[in-house]
Structure 1
């Protein structure tokens, strides 16, 4: 597949608008999973970890991450407290709550079901 040389496309060929829609639908799940696996992290650390695991397919700006963190915290799925970062700067560290773990289980289950359905559809072959 030729990847369009177009500023509206991400580096792996998906239109940036579609990439953003996918991201908005799964960012809360990724944040909750990251905090569940790694424990308390600051927003920058969460963003870098998601980028690392995605092999830079998902490149998150801090504004996107902090908007998601605020949204998830307002739901009661994470909590935050101030602490010192690796370079001794004051940073807000986020951690998952018990209700966040329940939400993570629900979202992960829903995601797996959807991925299974999409996988089945992609496996279909057309008659020749």
Structure 2
């Protein structure tokens, strides 16, 4: 569900961004900006936040008002990012409230950079008829 209650605070979804099933994205007092190559996991709830390029938001994460997630960061499943929190680029954050656990580099950073391309390729396969619809 994408819902914007105020015209001056839009919801912007960048290219190659994947918003998965059962997410709720709401802009009220602040806009929601999902930059390019972002992955938002199943069941995430987002309220007036900015997600920078290439970040991954885990399953059932809650992002509250005026939060910002840095480039290529990973927010672990089930985490809660409390209002006015800024998560820096290329870190793993987890917990409730979410805290930075470690910097991301090497193989993990490579995996994060490949995240959005996985979903872009899946979309191409669906559109190309590579999957048979049953039912």
TM-score, length of structure 1 as denominator length: 0.31
* Structure with a larger share of its residues in helix: 1
Greater Cα radius of gyration, structure 1 or 2: 1
Q: Which has the higher contact order (CA 8 A, sep 6+)?
A: 1
* Structure with a larger share of its residues in strand: 2
TM-score, length of structure 2 as denominator length: 0.30
